[in-house]
Structure 1
Amino acid sequence: MGILQSIKMALRSIKSNKLRSVLTMLGIIIGVSSVIVLVAMAQGSTTNVTNQINSLGTNLLTVNTFGTNLAITQDKIDEISKLNGVKSVAPVISGRVEVKKDRTSAQVSLTATNSNYSSIKNVNVSQGRFINDLDNEYRQKIAVIGATTAQTFFGTDNPIDQYIQINGTSFKVVGVLESKGSSLGSSGDDVVIVPLSTGERLLKTTNVNQLYLQGKSQDQLDFIMAEIQAKLATMFPNQSDSYSVSNQQDLMNTMSSVSNTMTMMLGGIAGISLLVGGIGIMNIMLVSVSERTKEIGIRKAIGAKRRDVLLQFLIEAAVLSSMGGIIGILIGLGLGKILSSTLSMTFTFSSSVILMSFLFSVVVGVVFGVFPANKASKLNPIQALRYE
């Protein structure tokens, strides 16, 4: 008997026991759809994190020092900016300040920096302008505010050329930043940016412990990092534990490792339900063998070989699992689309994951169908014909 005929017999058997067939496939359906949805959710989360990291800046390197005795002076900043691979440098002093406008007040994140910050951190203004070198040179009391800060203190009014009180000092708003949303758990919109020289007075400190640097080339970031580390080693001898240099790729590698672990864990949990579905297929196929003992006896009596009976039951198990896999894929894709729109989450569907989950469901069906098929093929035709 050919494979095509065996498939037709398998479909006929499934059709004659619709409810039992659906219940048999249920484990496979749940398993496949779970794998697709959970892995798509994990990969979507990875995509979001990657985009957030990329939005932090282009060819970005960050230097941090720890402690007041390791403050980065202007002379040191000038030395670092002259390194071959460094395109621009933005020193930063940050802290929390109280901002007031009329009767509205709130605690806001303050960043004191220079004009390079805009290009290094990929920050753009939607209204007005960013701070410039003259603002720093003349200690201008001007501020560039984030989109959320603008909404909090000015509502629908135009903030440009209006004034806010920062820690009791009046500042003129010269720019509003484009909204960037939350990035790695912190909002980039609830912020006030002022010139570095002005921020030193506001925060009552001249200690710069953080630098943002832009490399000239993405391909040379590792070389530039080594160059900066060598320079810091000469600036702060025997204090290598008191400063750090990091880049986006380090952060992305760390996040990628975490995301891959999460994806594998979620896929593994969902894969367990596929194994449970396989056990369901084995149970039902064993019941089917018992119910069709006489049929098997008749087939063997008229010349069917053990191989033919084995193949028939294996094909039935494979057809059940593959049908469950196809239905599971459709449900998984549909459920992912629904969750994506209702929960505003990013789901990234991978054709390789979909194909692997389907093939795994078929393999599970065949593996768990071997025992019942083998039992059916070993039946003695005379005993099978006598079976009641």
Structure 2
Amino acid sequence: MVDYVKSAFQNLGRKRVRTALTILGIAIGVASVVIIGNISQCGTAALNNELESLGLSGLTISSSSETAAAVSLNENDLSIIKHCEEVEQAAPVMVESTDISARKLSTKALVWGIDTNASQIISINLLYGRLFNTEDISTSANVCLVDEAFSKSTYMRSNIIGKTVSIMNGGVEENYKVIGIIKTGSGLLQNIIGNYIPTFVYVPYTTVQTVSGRDDFDQIVVKIKSGGNVESIGKTIVETLNRNNGTTDAFVSNNLAKQKDSLTNMLGIITLILSAVGSVSLLVASLSIMTVMLVSVNERTREIGIKKAIGAKRSYIMLEFMFEAVLISLIGCICGIAVGYIVSFAGAEYFGMQLSTRTDIMFLAVEFSVASGTIFGVYPAYKASRLKPVDALRQE
């Protein structure tokens, strides 16, 4: 076994450039598969983290837009939901798409109207300052929370507590005092295309109601007590609201956990497709092994004839070439895994993500690479072993 390995290294070293290019092809294919798998891991983890902040058993209640009987959610509906036995927390939410500006810099934003307990239900990671208190809500105060990305883009620093931003709401531009800085969304999508999606700004929901002249809510976010059946509780809440308002099918509940599973499954399918594309490049690279080994057989025909003339068996010749093919695949696979993880960890560090080593991807890449190298090395090895000594020695 050791002799075969030594012989394989010596033979591959004869044509170093050709060997290196073949290994490079294998490495690129393996690295692409590893990177795609790690991107999937980061995306799934980010998605789970964002939706976990809403609670695995969380749901939202909103007014149905598909029925004529739909009515708006109000304070009475919120009170009914809060008093449901299986509900741990409930908070009103209002959303407005508008423009915000600071220091003459303007950007698109989604203004979220929330309550004091919203941070216990939705993802708000406070970096500086404070969240809303009961006084802010009761007085409809012109205060806001802005994300860190907006702070850096306007004032070139994270902490801008006490600064003023202008928010266009209901056609009227008003000034709001910044009382808190929140961490920009940790999702991979948020970090990659942050320049193309709106900035998130949070204000008291009562302030949005006052400016827009409304007394209703867009949604009510609900956190269910641990162990509760989300589907049945959501159905119960909707039935209770319909009964209280004298309506039918006027409200709908959205199970966040089900949405998370759907998004995770979709991400898994996308990853599978991309991995298949990456595997094609690995397969093409493996075909180059056959080409290289066939060329090597032709170049070493006389050498093979000498070995067979002095007593070398067919099995020895075949194993010699098989070990070369497997060695090329193995070296390329190791290099590809190393490059794939270096790029993955660098990317994860840049985007502020956490990445762990996935042994399943490594084993899959090694198995596929070695298997393909073995399969595509069989024919050249067989061809070499079948050469007759007399015919081989006649070759110049």
Range into which the TM-score falls when normalised by the shorter chain: 0.7 to 0.9
| Cα 1:274/1:237, change in 2 over 3 Å | farther
* Matched residue, 1:289: 297
- Residue 133 of structure 2 corresponds to residue 131 of structure 1: yes
Q: CA deviation at 1:363?
A: 1.0
Tell me, in whole angstroms, the C-alpha distance in 2 between the residues paired with 1:382 and 1:163.
90
Aligned to 1:44: 42
Q: Counterpart in 2 of 1:191?
A: 201
Check the 8 A contact 1:135/1:195 in 2, yes or no: no
Question: Does the 8 Å contact 2:60/2:219 carry over to 1?
Answer: yes
The runs of 5 or more residues in structure 1 that have no matched partner are: none
1:338-377 residue pairs with structure 2 within 5 A?
338-340=346-348, 349-377=357-385
Distance 1:252 1:70 in 2: 28
1:383 corresponding residue in structure 2: 391
Equivalent pair of 1:57/1:122 in contact (CA under 8 Å)? no
**Deviation (angstroms), 1:86:** 0.4
The 2-side partners of 1:164 and 1:292 are apart by 78
- Matched-pair identity in %: 27
CA RMSD of aligned residues (A): 3.8
Structure 1 distance, partners of 2:348, 2:76, is 51
1:23 corresponds to which residue? 21
Q: How does 1:8-19 map to 2 (within 5 A)?
A: 8-19=6-17
What is the total number of aligned residue pairs between the two structures? 381
Alignment equivalent of 2:225, drawn from 198, 210, 216: 216
- How far the C-alpha of 1:112 sits from its partner, in A, is 3.5
Q: Which residue of 2 aligns with 1:84?
A: 85
Q: CA deviation at 1:350?
A: 2.0
Partner of 1:143: 143
Relative to structure 1, the CA distance from residue 254 to residue 104 in structure 2 (aligned partners, 3 Å threshold; closer, same or farther) is: same
1:19-55 per-position Cα deviation (integer Å, ceiling 9, x unaligned): 2221232221221122222322332233233333334
Give yes or no for contact 1:65–1:71 (8 Å, CA) kept in 2.
yes
Task: Give the letter for the 1:253 counterpart.
Answer: D
- Contact 2:19–2:328 (8 Å) recurs in 1: yes
Is the 1:282–1:369 contact (alpha carbons within 8 Å) kept by the matching residues of 2?
Answer: yes
Measured after TM superposition, the shift of residue 211 of structure 1 is 0.5
Counterparts of 2:105 and 2:70, CA distance in 1:
38
TM-aligned CA deviation for residue 368 of structure 1: 0.3
Q: Which amino acid aligns with 2:7?
A: M
SS in 2 for 1:208: coil
Deviation at residue 356 of structure 1 after TM alignment: 1.5
Q: Tell whether the 8 Å contact from 1:31 to 1:277 is kept in structure 2 after alignment.
A: yes
Note the C-alpha offset of 1:367: 0.5
Question: Residues 181 and 188 of structure 1 are in contact (CA less than 8 Å); yes or no, is this contact kept in structure 2?
Answer: no
TM-score, scaled relative to structure 1: 0.81
Deviates more, 1:71-80 or 1:180-189: 180-189
1:327-338 map, 5 Å: 327-338=335-346
Aligned to 2:180: 176
Q: Normalization by structure 2: what TM-score?
A: 0.79
Q: Does 1:203 align with 2:212?
A: yes
Verify: 1:159 aligned to 2:162, yes or no: yes
247-256 vs 83-92, which moves further: 247-256
1:106-150 deviation digits (Å, cap 9, x = unpaired):
875444443332322243653245232x665x5544534324677
Question: 1:34 is matched with which residue?
Answer: 32
Residue of structure 1 equivalent to 2:51: 53
Larger radius of gyration: 1
SS of the residue 2:73 aligns to = coil
CA contact (8 A) 1:33 1:332 kept: yes
Is contact 1:141-1:170 (8 Å) kept?
no
Match of 2:96, SS state, is strand
CA contact (8 A) 1:31 1:274 kept: yes
Counterpart-to-counterpart distance in 2, 1:74 and 1:320: 70
Equivalent AA in structure 2 for residue 12 of structure 1: Q
Matches within 5 A, 1:56-71: 56=54, 59-67=57-65, 69-71=70-72
SS at match of 1:89: strand
Structure 1 residues 73 and 283: CA distance shift in structure 2, 3 A: same
In the alignment, structure 2 segments of 5+ residues that lack a partner are none
Instruction: State the alpha-carbon separation in 1 of the partners of residues 31 and 373 from structure 2.
Output: 16
Q: Which amino acid aligns with 1:62?
A: T
Q: 1:373 to 1:239 in 2, by over 3 A?
A: farther
TM-superposition CA deviations, 1:249-308 (whole Å, max 9, x none): 223212212221222222222222211221111111111222222333333334333322
1:209-267 deviation line (CA, Å, top 9, x unaligned): 31111111166434433433443564678854x64322432232122122212222222
Q: CA deviation at 1:353?
A: 0.9
Q: 2:315 aligns with which of 302, 307, 310?
A: 307
Greater shift, 43-52 or 229-238, is seen at 229-238
